[in-house]
Chains A and B, each alone.
Chain A
Amino acid sequence: MLLSPALAISAVLFVLGVAGVLFRRNAIIIFMCVELMLNAVNLTFVALAQSLGMGGQVFVFFVMAVAAAEAAVGLAIILAVYRHKQSVSLQNMNLLKDG
């Protein structure tokens, strides 16, 4: 009975994450929005695990492991970029855009 509210909430959270990625320029905030999207998907997994079995909860476990790995590497990349550019704004990350 909680399935459809959970799916609705997770859809809204996912869309908010996508909107954040689209309209922010700060790399760290974009990163946090990606975490928000991962969490929205986790909510879907947990909601469906209620009627489809524990596999969904196990998958949330893996999503968390991947998110932790992604956060560690991504933040290290942001640190490395900051050392070169003195900024984390995506406006300044245009090496591949035009010469």
Chain B
Amino acid sequence: MTVTFFWIFGGIAIASALLCITRRNPIASALWLVITLFALAALFVLLDAQFIAVLQILVYAGAIMVLFLFVIMLLNLGRPGPTDIRGPAGLLTATVLAGALLLLLRPISEAALPASIQLPPGTVQGLQEHQGIIGAVANPLFDAYLIPFEIASVLLLAAIVGAVVLAKRKL
């Protein structure tokens, strides 16, 4: 049952990603990308990452994609115009390169993890039952990954300042 749902949502994600990269209208592209992000959130739930799924919807589908749509509409890019898709030569090159990359990435889906580094099955669910869904993520975040977490806050501050400086006409 879970596997069936997994393939259904995976199929939705792939199909809408394909539509996202082939639509001429940037707004249509952005909306298809939102569908992809929602399907990915569903996949995260099926992979026992409920908190990450909520974050995916709030941060990605909510905040980041609204920012994209906002800029697209601010620049008035939704109007019909010349297509931005490359010509036949560019399409052929892109297809060949993407196909080659897919061939290179294919073995990872068949790779088996060595048993010595795998946790016993049910460890993650056990952690989530014991510490709660959020606690299971928050404990390592504020313990082993505390310094990266603090650095991420500096990164976000730098991004805010950078975005203001870049977007302002005259400081």
Query: Does B bind A?
Result: yes
Task: Provide the residues of chain B in CB contact with A75, threshold 8 Å.
Answer: 67-68, 71, 163
Contacts of A64 in B (CB 8 A): 55-56, 59-60
Residue of A nearest to B165 (CB): A76
Of the candidates B37, B95, B155, the one whose C-beta lies within 8 Å of that of A39 is B37
Q: Identify A2's interface contact among B46, B52, B56, B124, CB under 8 A.
A: B46
Shortest distance in angstroms between A45's beta carbon and chain B's nearest beta carbon?
Answer: 9
**Contact A6–B47 (Cβ < 8 Å):** yes
B148 at the interface (CB under 8 A from A): yes
B59 x A18 contact (CB < 8 A): no
Q: Is the CB of A22 within 8 A of B109?
A: no
Of the candidates B30, B109, B121, B124, the one whose C-beta lies within 8 Å of that of A49 is B124
Q: B11 CB to closest chain A CB, in angstroms?
A: 9
Q: Are A2 and B3 in contact (CB under 8 A)?
A: yes
Q: Which chain B residues border A12 with CB–CB below 8 Å?
A: 14, 102
Interface size class of A (residues with CB under 8 A): 35 or more
Whether A47 contacts B6 by the Cβ 8 Å rule is no
Within A19-76, the residues touching B (CB, 8 Å) are 19-20, 22-26, 28-29, 31-33, 35-36, 39, 42-43, 46-55, 57-58, 60-62, 64-73, 75-76
* A13–B13 touching, CB < 8 Å: yes
Once the chains bind, are B85 and A7 in contact (CB under 8 Å)?
no
CB distance from B15 to the nearest CB of A (A): 10
Known: A26-B84, A28-B72. A61 touches B97 (CB 8 A): no
**Chain B residues engaging chain A, CB cutoff 8 angstroms:** 2-3, 6-7, 10, 13-14, 17-18, 20-21, 26, 29-30, 33, 36-37, 40, 43-44, 46-49, 51-52, 55-56, 59-60, 63-64, 67-68, 71-72, 74-75, 77, 84-86, 90-91, 93-95, 97-98, 101-102, 105-106, 108-111, 113, 117-119, 121, 123-124, 127, 136-137, 139-141, 144-145, 148-149, 152, 155-156, 158-160, 162-164, 166-167, 169
Q: Give chain A's interface residues, CB within 8 Å of chain B.
A: 1-9, 11-20, 22-26, 28-29, 31-33, 35-36, 39, 42-43, 46-55, 57-58, 60-62, 64-73, 75-80, 82-83, 88-89
